[in-house]
Structure 1
Amino acid sequence: MHKHFIEIFIFFLFIFYSADFLGQERISFQSLLSEMTHRESVARFPNPEFKLGQASSYDRRSKVPKGSEWYANKDNSNFIRKETNNGRTEHVLLDEKGPDAIVRFWATFGNKTGGNGTLRFYFDDADTPEIEGDPRMILGESTLVGYPLSASEPQESTYKLRGFNLYLPLPYEKSCKITYESEFVDIKVQSPDYEAAFYNINYRSYPKGTSIETFSKEILEKNTKLVQKTNDILHTQQYVPADGTQTNKETENIRIKPGETYKMNIEGSRAINKIRFKLDAEDLSQGLRSTVVKFQFDGKKTTWSPVGDFFGTGYNVRPVRNWYQQVDAEGYLSCFWIMPFREKATIEIHNLGNQTVNLIDFELSHQTWAWDNRSLYFGTSWKNYPGLYTSKNEEHFDVNYTEIQGKGVYVGDVLTLFNTLNGWWGEGDEKIYIDGEEFPSHFGTGTEDYYGYAWSRWEKIFSHPYIGQPDGSGNMKPGYVVNLRVRGLDAIPFNNHLKLDMEMWHWFKAARIDYAPTTFYYLDPQAEVWVKPDPSGAKRKVTIVRSQLFSNKWTGKRLEAEDTKVLNGNREALIYQYNPNLEWGGILKFYGLPVQKIKFLN
């Protein structure tokens, strides 16, 4: 009897320390929706742990890093396999064993037949799909759920040229298979009827034994009110102070002279949950770049970034509205990242420029925080690639966003750039390596796909809780661009290492481009970021017009003229051709016009 009692006691002790009693709730449709509306969730390492995977239509010829076909660019209609289901030929996009949860699904469809097929989701080895229908309607046009959990962006763009985004979580216990049926995807590329189907699917893979509830239409219908509430919170993005929130608000403007620093300390186990101010300077663009935010938490330096990039607007004020960042038309900058610390936080704003800047209506709020062994420090890094040539030895190449050694969670990035040519700069794919992978588990289909829109749309700006293009005017012509993506359920946990590269794949190899990615993450106290602060890059004069990167002055011997407009009457009279062996960096054709009669325009 005594022995039996001990066995029972051990059994219940095991149950007590099992997942549920350690804070691991059952993963369900409801729990995932709840997680989406609590910014605090990304500030702790996930429990239960998961790995974020990605299935995409990237060009399968890209097999060997840095190999001859590493930058292959036929990124559409590359499926896992083709199979027959109930007499139908279906192409498989994803086939994963659970317990998992799909947390982001992006797609777009090219050519006149694109998107006319049928998308199907099969859960837990079922022969009948739980979700079935027009792919664009399911992913981006609210067949399943309203905006912004379902969104096509940019909404003002031509319908077929949008990116279709589904953020509705779809958990499953045993398996999930996603297929696409279309008679046009097997047609040869040369045919105008060929369908170009691009897709990126992010999914969480949980450890075996994790308790999870499989998605169904019935569950969706039972949670209509919760879905609507989630949509409302994400869409309005109203800041609701947490319990125990305190606000330090400066009633007067903060004046920071060149070379000086504004500094604030916060004591105790707290978490910053809001920062808001307006930056004022005579040269506002330079002020947004040369004024730098620097945060230390418990003595650990984790955040270093120019102000404009940190808030998602770059070095020009553009409206931004996502789950973590806001910039309004008046130029007020707000962020809602949760930034916990155990004992002390130091907030510094450095003026590295040569002009005085003012922080108008500076406001900082912080809340109580119960620090535990899963709590993480918020961090930001910024890299500057000024005047970056878009080819190396006539080849494309990978540009590093960030690299981190240690444990943490990756939660987003902002890309600020200035393009110098009349051509698309962002053909390149993201490549994300997690925990020592030799081949990236995240291999995308194009920069505009990573940022949630499609087809390099330049004429429309958009804001969404997780993605946005505050400015796309430089996408297809010389000019300024800001793209951003912040992460909720699709945040990327890593245990010992993370590296994010983006291909530099410009349509023109002879371009020069200013390129500055800012990355956001949460870090274990022992983690180290390999990106170091770059004061000289922040001080560098920002590019406002193309001629700052390429001089249009003719010396009689040399001219930097990549895509410079040369007019004779109303017609262009210059063609640029890349040739790295020539002193000019290219060949100029003037259609027989004498050089002295050609007018060069910025």
Structure 2
Amino acid sequence: MTMSGGAGLSDLGLLSDARTFSISAENRDGRSGGGGRATRGDHSTAWASRELPVGWKKSPCIDLEGRSRRTVADIEGPGVLQHLWITVLPQHLRSIVLRIFWDEEESPSVEVPLGDFFCQGWARYVPVSSLPVTVAPAGGLNSYWRMPFRGSARIEVENLSTATIEGFFYQFTWSQEEVGERAAYLHAQWRRSDPLEEMSPHVLLDGVAGQGHYVGTYLAWESHQSGWWGEGEVKFYLDDDLTGAAPGQGGEGAEPPTIFPTICTTGTEDYVGGAWAFEDPQGRYAEYSTPYLGMPEVQRPDGFYASQQRFGMYRWHIPDPIRFRERIRVSVQALGFQRPVDDLVRYKPLRDDVASTAFWYQAEPHVPFTEDPTYRLPTWDLLDPT
């Protein structure tokens, strides 16, 4: 086998010895000639195909039993996961946790609520048109993150709710090919602060050990007060920045910091490529989605600048990966404005609800994640989704 290289237009004319396979409910181990062989489905709508012969649409999806984990792909390497496609009803997007394990590891390298992995953190479908993540009508979740592995890849989904989730559709396409010595593994971690501690930033990533590069951020943000909320800086502490600092210590807070970042942005909306409070000419929030950055989701329960508004934002560091040799910490401040009696505007630290998904590549083994999404999801996500 030889490496197939990238997946860009410049490579499409090149021949390769790599082999392509795909796993779905119609071919659950992805073997050659294994698709469309089901005689009946094991899902809740299997009755729809009762009059069709073998080879027709017998098993397009599965059901996920309540409070259960299910392995939906178990692949022997070496190879590269090239495309993930999933769809499920929107009310389940925060009730399912997606986990990916590389090379027989016990601790997952990807552990994220399904919706957040695909920039759908508020459990409703929002179109996204970015390079690694695309969400198409009406809820097709697509990931093009390149995921090389040497020994094996295992994809698991967990239904956190008590009810059976019906109609979980999926298709995972991968190539069987050699993986180079310098190839790193994709990792993704979800964290949530609800509410943020007083005068404390939200930490997206910390405790990483080993060489790698940071490639993306997704933020699901709920403002807990009226007014502007996006003045906070995103900070990247790299390698020597963290000398003498244990995970979670030394950064900005109520006390003066003892460590300082190499990369410090100028505002939350600036980090995701926007400016001046995301306002359009009519003085409203303007949603946008581009290949590398965007704010595709704005929920306006009470109008512009009103309390309890929700936002979904992403920034992909694909042309500008943030490289680290040994350690990295990423944080974001929640900062707005206040207008006291003297009518002079001042910054105001906020205690918003911030959930983040950090994406990075690194060499294995990785440090096991300390935060478990199953304990940080809001209670309304875990109610009977029917």
Normalising by structure 1, what TM-score?
0.47
The residue identity in structure 1 corresponding to 2:97 is V
State the 1:524 CA deviation.
0.4
Looking at structure 1, the residues matched to 320 and 379 of structure 2 have their Cα atoms a distance apart, in angstroms, of: 34
Looking at structure 1, the residues matched to 216 and 295 of structure 2 have their Cα atoms a distance apart, in angstroms, of: 14
Q: Find 2:355's aligned residue among 516, 530, 548.
A: 516
Looking at structure 1, the residues matched to 161 and 325 of structure 2 have their Cα atoms a distance apart, in angstroms, of: 38
Do the aligned partners of residues 359 and 377 (structure 1) sit closer, same or farther apart at CA in structure 2, a change above 3 Å counting?
farther
Higher relative contact order (CA 8 A, sep 6+): 2
Greater Rg, structure 1 or structure 2? 1
* Residue aligning to 1:480: 310
SS in 2 for 1:330: coil
Do the aligned partners of residues 530 and 351 (structure 1) sit closer, same or farther apart at CA in structure 2, a change above 3 Å counting?
closer
Moved over 6 A (4+): none
The residue identity in structure 2 corresponding to 1:400 is V
Any conservation in 1 of the 2:189–2:369 contact (CA below 8 Å)? no
Do the aligned partners of residues 448 and 462 (structure 1) sit closer, same or farther apart at CA in structure 2, a change above 3 Å counting?
same
* Residue aligning to 1:288: 93
Any conservation in 2 of the 1:383–1:534 contact (CA below 8 Å)? yes
* Residue aligning to 2:138: 330
Answer 1 or 2: which has greater helix percent: 1
Unpaired runs of 5+ residues, structure 2, are: 27-59, 242-258, 279-283, 339-347
Q: Find 1:397's aligned residue among 200, 220, 223.
A: 200
The residue identity in structure 1 corresponding to 2:230 is G
| Aligned-residue RMSD, C-alpha | 2.6
Per-residue displacement from partner, 1:38-71 (whole Å, max 9, x unpaired)? 469xxxxxxxxxxxxxxxxxxxxxxxxxxxxxxx
State the 1:529 CA deviation.
5.5
Q: 1:317 aligned to 2:125?
A: yes
Any conservation in 1 of the 2:277–2:285 contact (CA below 8 Å)? no
SS in 2 for 1:387: coil
Q: Find 2:213's aligned residue among 399, 409, 415.
A: 409
Unpaired runs of 5+ residues, structure 1, are: 1-34, 41-228, 234-240, 544-602
Do the aligned partners of residues 430 and 406 (structure 1) sit closer, same or farther apart at CA in structure 2, a change above 3 Å counting?
same
State the 1:262 CA deviation.
2.3
Any conservation in 1 of the 2:113–2:373 contact (CA below 8 Å)? no
Any conservation in 2 of the 1:353–1:539 contact (CA below 8 Å)? no
State the 1:260 CA deviation.
1.4
Any conservation in 2 of the 1:428–1:502 contact (CA below 8 Å)? yes
Looking at structure 2, the residues matched to 386 and 276 of structure 1 have their Cα atoms a distance apart, in angstroms, of: 30
My pick for the range that moved more, 287-296 or 348-357, is 348-357
Do the aligned partners of residues 530 and 497 (structure 1) sit closer, same or farther apart at CA in structure 2, a change above 3 Å counting?
farther
Q: How many residues align?
A: 301
State the 1:533 CA deviation.
2.1
* Residue aligning to 2:380: 541
Any conservation in 2 of the 1:381–1:533 contact (CA below 8 Å)? no
Q: 1:440 aligned to 2:261?
A: yes
Per-residue displacement from partner, 1:473-519 (whole Å, max 9, x unpaired)? 45722321101011212011211001111112133558542210111
* Residue aligning to 2:86: 277
Any conservation in 1 of the 2:88–2:169 contact (CA below 8 Å)? no
* Residue aligning to 1:350: 158
Q: 1:245 aligned to 2:20?
A: yes
SS in 1 for 2:319: coil
Looking at structure 1, the residues matched to 222 and 180 of structure 2 have their Cα atoms a distance apart, in angstroms, of: 43
SS in 1 for 2:124: coil
Q: Find 2:292's aligned residue among 466, 481, 490.
A: 466
Q: 1:501 aligned to 2:340?
A: no
Do the aligned partners of residues 292 and 467 (structure 1) sit closer, same or farther apart at CA in structure 2, a change above 3 Å counting?
same
The residue identity in structure 2 corresponding to 1:290 is S
Report matched runs for 1:28-427 at 5 Å: 38=6, 243-251=18-26, 252-263=60-71, 264-280=73-89, 284-285=90-91, 287-300=92-105, 301-314=108-121, 315-388=123-196, 392=198, 396-403=199-206, 404-427=208-231
Percent of matched pairs sharing the same residue: 26
State the 1:523 CA deviation.
1.6
State the 1:436 CA deviation.
2.4
Normalising by structure 2, what TM-score?
0.72
Per-residue displacement from partner, 1:367-413 (whole Å, max 9, x unpaired)? 13322321111111000112336xx2xxx432211011211111101
